[in-house]
Structure 1
């Protein structure tokens, strides 16, 4: 690592004319510019997470089944790990919103905001793209909304809050040369930080990110901090059986290379009596309920959640097909009699295109003939409403056993 040079993390509003400033700064410092797309690409390559999933997380969009799969937490932890590896190499400028994942405690990281007022951004966008004022306004509002939600998720503050940054560059008042000069002057103040501190901070960040990746396998709302290999895990989400869960955290984290000790503490958002999923539970993680009777299926979803079965709900056949195209699904509970595409057609298409999804028919209008048709099409089971909740969950468990058996073969 180039220890005499700080890492710079630049956030900017779209159409604030920051590209040339960042490029000029990069040339002056002989630094590589790392964009959000670079970080996303690295996580896709190294961790096998889909780009679409990462973009959903950055845009603060809901991930189906996240209460049980913790995909959002894993995405964030993997992005932290990618950032930490860039930092360990040194000589880099982060340009984008993902750089906000760098801990505020890292003393050798300088945070910069480049921004101008909205009217100038609109004019800049119109000049650059040749679009109408209305079209540019919409692009700015969309970009800002994603930035605000993401940065608030990470820091609890507004995106352009000056307290998040060491320096703010008003791009309408400072030209490229003046902007770069101001950043260079501020960066010199960090050059006196000792090599030992810089290396320790980088190593601690990387280890904490590695710990958080492992923690996503056992629960959500878990944050790790490292101090020279001594790990503190903050439990920041409601759960049950706290003492047992703390022991599990310690046991798992102790096995990670570089960890010297492990402790846990309760975060300010902790409450008891919520579900923490463990892979020791033999229940499917991704269940889709398909039924046009909204009250019935919503109540069923709540009853399943009380039994630690995470589910998503759609209300017709087309929504079911669209959902499985977007989201990985393991078990589908499907009604037969629905308007539009009925359950028979959904079952037929699912088994043709996604045969790994186990489909449980749950209907109040079926016959023995319907049952035979469904089983011939590949349904896992055929249940009549009103099905006993224990019968349904037992059937789901057996379906999940089949899924795991197929994965292992």
Structure 2
């Protein structure tokens, strides 16, 4: 039996078609939620963190944490485990994680024209068209970003990505299901020894990738023809040392196959490759209305392996706290709008686990006492020695992690 992999637009009847395919073919349905649940069990990571892989944009801290890449590794492992069977229907974003080398997969895209989707979203009701259209456009942007990140294709509905594209506005449910089940009989999607080996290679690659991820390495892995290929998507400063480190890590996993490396050229720009270290501050939010100062500070901290993002006012800082979950905050007191003292109060009320370090050039002894009373980890004054600041942020990060472990 072949696997059916469905990717769909919203408001085109995809859920009903998937349910009918399951009923008529006797297969089981596997969705993104199922994949996330299994990946959470395998990795111990929170489901919310894994689900963020499907978000429009990765976390602003991702350049340091490589959270998205490491979560994707666990999602691929959960999917690769499932690929040992062939009697299932996969529906969702995760259909694009299946490698093209697994031939016994019928890739189907379900889509409908704008008029059909707007009506299905309630846009045919008075005054609801614009709202329905905005909702559809937002969902389409989400799918486009996902397909671009996984396949490098700007058009999520491009025919080249699928074995068939099914327009559900011209085909009712009966005909859509009939067309898909007919496609299952095609010789090109029948299981063969090579396609089964490709599924086994996918599983082995996923196990290696998650093993490296558990050691802090965000490295793409592929297995084919009895060889392991590691793909490093960033420039490497000391390549020989990194390759030796990765080979040593593979040896601990009892990987005996030949290993090849591909590394992104330096000309591609971007940050250099670094291993993620959970003990190193990598989610520090810098909040200061002096833009040049805080941007320069972020760069200087990055040179000391401290990952940070910046906000230029209290309102933006609070939005980022709600959205990005920083672990440590470096906070100025005097800012227009919501000042630093008020930000400190609100952060400690809603996210007490975040350690807050005050860095101000206009503080007083009463300010110091009040900040410490409200729960600030430390109170520093500008100008501050960069090494003192770095050490303080590391100590704040250590306390945050100890507190989480003791919960």
TM range (shorter): 0.7 to 0.9
Deviation string, structure 1 residues 154-178 (Cα, Å, up to 9, x no partner):
1111211111111222323434333
- Aligned to 1:225, which of 222, 225, 228? 222
Tell whether the 8 Å contact from 2:229 to 2:262 is kept in structure 1 after alignment: no
Residue 203 to residue 107, structure 1, CA distance change in 2 (3 Å): same
Which one is further off, 366-375 or 159-168?
366-375
- Aligned to 2:295, which of 295, 298, 307? 298
User: How many residues are treated as equivalent by the alignment?
Assistant: 402
Tell whether the 8 Å contact from 1:231 to 1:260 is kept in structure 2 after alignment: no
Residue 365 to residue 308, structure 1, CA distance change in 2 (3 Å): same
Residue 80 to residue 381, structure 1, CA distance change in 2 (3 Å): same
SS, match of residue 83 in structure 2: helix
Residue 354 to residue 226, structure 1, CA distance change in 2 (3 Å): same
Instruction: List structure 1 runs of 4+ shifted beyond 6 angstroms.
Output: 127-131
- Aligned to 1:23, which of 11, 19, 25? 19
Shift of 1:192: 4.8
Instruction: Give 1:133's aligned residue.
Output: 129
Deviation string, structure 1 residues 32-86 (Cα, Å, up to 9, x no partner):
1222233233334543444444443313223131111111112211221221222
- Structure 2: segments with no counterpart, 5+ residues: none
Deviation string, structure 1 residues 344-392 (Cα, Å, up to 9, x no partner):
3433454455444332221101123433443444433322112222321
- Normalising by structure 1, we get a TM-score of 0.87
Deviation string, structure 1 residues 237-285 (Cα, Å, up to 9, x no partner):
223211111111222233236x332523224566588333335696311
Tell whether the 8 Å contact from 2:284 to 2:309 is kept in structure 1 after alignment: yes
Residue 361 to residue 119, structure 1, CA distance change in 2 (3 Å): same
Q: CA RMSD in A?
A: 2.9
Q: How do residues 247-396 of structure 1 correspond to structure 2 at under 5 angstroms?
A: 247-256=244-253, 259-261=255-257, 263-267=259-263, 271=267, 274-279=271-276, 283-351=280-348, 354-396=351-393
Shift of 1:304: 1.8
Instruction: Give 2:37's aligned residue.
Output: 41
Residue 350 to residue 181, structure 1, CA distance change in 2 (3 Å): closer
Tell whether the 8 Å contact from 2:295 to 2:310 is kept in structure 1 after alignment: yes
Deviation string, structure 1 residues 174-202 (Cα, Å, up to 9, x no partner):
343333333233322146533x4444222
